[in-house]
């Protein structure tokens, strides 16, 4: 099915600002699903609240637009009820790692098969540009007019340490790579985390004098490098992108739960 048929056209025009990166992520996600030839009825998309979470409203899958920070908890319930479904959870950096941080690490720890996409614009876009746990030290935000004194999480390292079995990073500039990574993440039989650096020109870009959307995407081009490249050794400030973890060996949570139920039914301990 052409990816355009996955859209709920009646909900357009979308709410995103001109130049917002989230629409690029939506395009990559739909192309990935198209390449995997997954039918509309076999995808459940679950989101919280935020500009990024609005993706859920625009796709013609089964969708749940839930509470801020709680998308992974709802998604866990859906996946455990019907494990054959492809569960995809698009989240903002605030949604995933501030209010939703606990759900994030525990979903990773359990290795439940779903795809968590963290659309990292380093700010709370929907509520007016406050700093998030992914805003960098020294970044400016609506509520950090003298600079943010917190340090940011590294999503890749956090997901890896928490036990996620597929961990990757890309950017909206690298749309083809993002599509390919999301395709692999959806096909992965465990908890998959894909961080996508996604520009918010309206708040993060403006507050941090990064220019418009085009300049912000050029920054992604110039300040990232493929994982394991020599460029990173020469310039440690470069952000690596690519697949960092891909491990199909760890038991998946729904499979373990099914075995547990069978053991209980047999009366075995």
- The binding site for ligand TPP (CB under 6 A) comprises 49-52, 68, 92-95, 99, 119, 121, 123-127, 132
Single out the segment in contact with ligand SF4 by CB under 6 A; choices: 40-48, 59-67, 153-161, 198-206: 198-206
Which does residue 173 touch among ligand TPP, ligand SF4, none (CB within 5 to 8 A, set by kind)?
Answer: none
Pick one of 66, 111, 132, 202: the residue that binds ligand SF4 (CB under 6 A).
202
**Gap between the Cα atoms of 195 and 162, Å rounded:** 15
CB 198, min distance to ligand SF4, A: 8
CB 41, min distance to ligand TPP, A: 27
Is position 91 an interface residue for ligand SF4 (rule: CB under 6 A)? no
Residue 240 pairs in a beta bridge with 225
Give the other-Cβ count within 10 Å of 129's Cβ. Answer: 24
Which one, 125 or 163, has the nearer CB to ligand TPP? 125
Radius of gyration of the chain (CA): 18
Largest CA distance in the chain: 64
Which one, 141 or 156, has the nearer CB to ligand TPP? 141
β-pairing, 62-65 vs 43-47, is: parallel
Q: What string of DSSP letters covers 68-102? A: TT-HHHHHHHHHHH-TTSEEEEEEEHHHHHTTTHH
Cis previous bond, 87, omega within 30: no
Which one, 24 or 243, has the nearer CB to ligand TPP? 24
**Gap between the Cα atoms of 37 and 40, Å rounded:** 9
Would you give the DSSP letter of residue 201?
Answer: I
Scanning 188-242, the segments in alpha helix (DSSP H) are 206-207, 213-223, 230-234
Which one, 126 or 193, has the nearer CB to ligand TPP? 126
Is position 200 an interface residue for ligand SF4 (rule: CB under 6 A)? yes
Which one, 190 or 205, has the nearer CB to ligand SF4? 205
The 117-136 site mask, x for binding ligand SF4 (CB under 6 A), equals: ----x---xx----------
Single out the segment in contact with ligand SF4 by CB under 6 A; choices: 3-11, 13-21, 77-85, 107-115: 13-21
Rounding to the nearest 10 degrees, give the CA dihedral for residues 80, 86, 90, 96: 30
**Gap between the Cα atoms of 224 and 215, Å rounded:** 14
Which one, 202 or 225, has the nearer CB to ligand SF4? 202
CB 94, min distance to ligand TPP, A: 3
Q: In the complex, which residue's CB is closest to ligand TPP?
A: 92
Rounding to the nearest 10 degrees, give the CA dihedral for residues 206, 15, 27, 223: 10
Q: Which residues bind ligand SF4 (CB under 6 A)?
A: 16-17, 20, 22, 51, 121, 125-126, 200-203
């Amino acid at each position: 099915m052409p990816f355009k048929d996955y859209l709920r056209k009646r909900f357009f025009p979308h709410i995103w600002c001109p130049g917002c990166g989230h629409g690029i992520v939506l395009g990559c996600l739909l192309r990935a699903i198209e390449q995997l030839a997954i039918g509309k009825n076999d995808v459940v998309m679950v989101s919280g609240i935020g500009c990024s979470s609005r993706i859920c409203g625009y796709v013609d899958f089964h969708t749940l637009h839930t509470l801020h920070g709680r998308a992974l908890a709802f998604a866990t319930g859906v996946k455990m009820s019907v494990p054959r479904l492809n569960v995809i959870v698009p989240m903002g950096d605030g949604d995933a790692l501030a209010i939703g941080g606990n759900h994030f690490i525990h979903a990773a720890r359990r290795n439940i098969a779903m795809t968590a996409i963290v659309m990292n614009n380093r700010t709370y876009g929907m509520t007016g540009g406050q700093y998030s746990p992914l805003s960098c030290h020294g970044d400016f935000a609506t509520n950090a007019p003298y600079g943010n004194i917190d340090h940011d999480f590294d999503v890749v390292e956090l997901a890896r340490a928490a036990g996620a079995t597929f961990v990757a990073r890309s950017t909206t500039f690298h749309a083809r790579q993002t599509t390919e990574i999301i395709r692999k993440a959806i096909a992965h039989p465990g908890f998959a985390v894909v961080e996508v650096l996604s520009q918010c020109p309206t708040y993060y870009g403006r507050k941090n004098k990064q220019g418009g959307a085009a300049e912000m995407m050029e920054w992604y081009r110039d300040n990232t490098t493929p994982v394991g490249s020599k460029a990173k050794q020469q310039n440690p400030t470069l952000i690596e992108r690519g697949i960092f973890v891909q491990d199909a060996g760890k038991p998946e949570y729904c499979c373990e739960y099914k075995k547990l139920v069978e053991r209980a039914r047999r009366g075995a301990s």
